[in-house]
């Protein structure tokens, strides 16, 4: 590696683990350890509060709403907070719009992007439902195209997002790359994979695990329907959900909420929760990436999801159940019931999940990024959708 100073940027304080679900923080920690990118951008959003309020009031008065983060007003205020030497560094930004390419060019820096999805796709309802006024969307899309045009590389976390960057943001395909992110979860040095005792579904409950604050969008109602279908077939099954129960599900049979687990201050408790599950589930119809399958795999637990958008890249066929959006809870339960009848298949899935554990880390992500910077390409990148045998890291 060269001695170029590289920095990590996000809308927020990268050195704060709470910034954007901890993703920039964990990336920066691994990059700093290896010496690849050492400087965090520390944007204090609390200093841009009254301006956001004024913006929203004015937008509401003219029958529009939101979009302050994509305005020149916000970007001017955000960039004004930052030390000038950061703009002259080699920047890896987790945001599509911040910093602006023109500001970086004036300082003599270089810009790279590492994103879960392009704004152009989010604003049209793919990855997430991002609803904003047409005028705001048009301006933000123009700024995004300008930034990508000047960026050295645009790296996405999933294939669908890379395709969208090329198709919708007028970016040459050779500038776009895909690198799987890591799980925001570190294993202790003495970690040993845990296996629930007894036969799932017969001696004990078959545990369908769920993590996610946005419980409706991430498919918790579907997971509950799957559990109910398994119970109708005579299987013992339970949904185990991290977080506090919403009122409509607080007394739902077959569902246990374990309360909020702060994986930052009590990672051991989060690992115990993950390890108690037989399958980690994510059934969102819209998902830019979805970190929770990587967290389950990091703990050595198989996963299940709609293989659509982001999760299409995070569900290994040798350690996960890949479903189509058209698959009903009944059809999904049929496949899981067949799995419960096959003990060797269950053991093979769990063993493969454990092999995936060292592959779904931020250290691996940064190593692939270094290879991209130095060689211009990544040889045999970790690709969960292709299975373990294709990975040069598999042991």
pTM for this entry: 0.95
Query: 6-178 and 206-359 share one CATH topology?
Result: yes
Query: Do residues 48 and 74 lie in contact, with contact meaning Cβ atoms separated by under 8 Å?
Result: yes
* 281 three-class SS: strand
Q: What is the pLDDT of residue 390?
A: 57
Q: What is the pLDDT of residue 365?
A: 98
The separation between CA 109 and the C-alpha centre of its own chain, rounded to angstroms, equals 28
Q: What is the pLDDT of residue 395?
A: 47
The domain ranges of the chain are 6-178, 206-359
CATH topology of domain 206-359: Rossmann fold (3.40.50)
Predicted confidence (pLDDT) per residue in 131-159, tens digit: 888 889 999 999 999 999 999 999 999 99
- Output the DSSP codes for 164-212: HHHHHS---GGGEEE-----S-PPPTT------SS-BTTTBPEEEEE--
* 92 three-class SS: strand
Q: How far is residue 276's CA from residue 210's CA, in Å, rounded to a whole number?
A: 11
Q: How far is residue 305's CA from residue 280's CA, in Å, rounded to a whole number?
A: 8
Tokens 């050492």 identify what position?
A: 38
Query: Do residues 283 and 306 lie in contact, with contact meaning Cβ atoms separated by under 8 Å?
Result: yes
What's the CATH number of domain 6-178, 3.30.60, 1.20.120, 3.40.50, 3.40.1000?
Answer: 3.40.50
Q: What is the pLDDT of residue 394?
A: 52
Q: Select from 234, 207, 204, 231 the least CA-distant residue to 329.
A: 231
Question: Residues in the chain with pLDDT < 70?
Answer: 1-2, 61-64, 390-395
Q: How far is residue 188's CA from residue 56's CA, in Å, rounded to a whole number?
A: 45
Q: What is the pLDDT of residue 37?
A: 98
∠ CA(28), CA(31), CA(34), 5° rounding?
150
Q: In the beta sheet, which residues pair with residue 154?
A: 113, 176
Predicted confidence (pLDDT) per residue in 335-347, tens digit: 999 999 999 999 9
Q: What is the pLDDT of residue 195?
A: 83
**DSSP structural state of residue 41:** P
What are phi and psi for residue 238, nearest 5 degrees? -150, 145
């Amino acid at each position: 590696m060269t001695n170029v100073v590289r920095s990590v940027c996000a809308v927020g304080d990268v050195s704060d683990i709470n910034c954007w679900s901890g993703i920039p923080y964990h990336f920066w920690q691994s990059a700093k350890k290896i010496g690849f990118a050492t400087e965090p951008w520390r944007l204090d959003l609390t200093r841009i509060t009254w301006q956001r309020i004024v913006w929203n009031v004015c937008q509401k008065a003219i029958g529009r709403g939101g979009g302050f983060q994509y305005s020149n007003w916000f970007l001017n205020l955000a960039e004004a907070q930052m030390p000038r030497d950061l703009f002259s560094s080699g920047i890896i930004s987790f945001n599509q719009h911040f910093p602006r390419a023109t500001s970086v060019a004036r300082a003599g820096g270089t810009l790279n992007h590492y994103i879960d999805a392009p704004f152009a796709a989010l604003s049209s309802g793919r990855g997430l439902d991002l609803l904003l006024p047409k005028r705001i969307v048009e301006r933000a899309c123009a700024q995004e195209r300008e930034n990508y045009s000047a960026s050295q590389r645009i790296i996405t976390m999933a294939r669908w997002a890379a395709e969208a960057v090329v198709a919708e943001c007028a970016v040459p395909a050779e500038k776009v790359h895909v690198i799987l992110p890591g799980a925001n979860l570190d294993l202790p040095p003495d970690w040993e994979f845990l296996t629930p005792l007894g036969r799932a579904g017969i001696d004990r409950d078959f545990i369908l695990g769920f993590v996610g604050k946005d419980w409706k969008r991430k498919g918790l109602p579907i997971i509950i329907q799957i559990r109910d279908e398994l119970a109708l077939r005579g299987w013992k099954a339970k949904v185990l959900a991290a977080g506090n129960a919403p009122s409509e599900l607080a007394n739902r049979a077959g569902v246990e909420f374990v309360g909020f687990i702060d994986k930052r201050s009590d990672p051991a408790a989060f690992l115990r929760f993950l390890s108690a599950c037989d399958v980690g589930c994510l059934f969102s119809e819209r998902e830019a990436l979805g970190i929770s399958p990587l967290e389950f795999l990091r703990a050595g637990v198989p996963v299940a999801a709609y293989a659509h958008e982001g999760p299409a890249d995070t569900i290994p066929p040798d350690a996960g159940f890949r479903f189509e959006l058209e698959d009903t809870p009944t059809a999904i339960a049929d496949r899981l019931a067949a799995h419960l009848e096959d003990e060797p298949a269950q053991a093979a899935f769990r063993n493969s999940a454990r092999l995936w554990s060292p592959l779904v880390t931020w250290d691996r992500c940064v190593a692939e990024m270094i290879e991209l910077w130095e060689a211009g390409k990544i040889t045999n990148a970790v690709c969960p959708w292709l299975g373990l045998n294709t990975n040069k890291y598999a042991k």
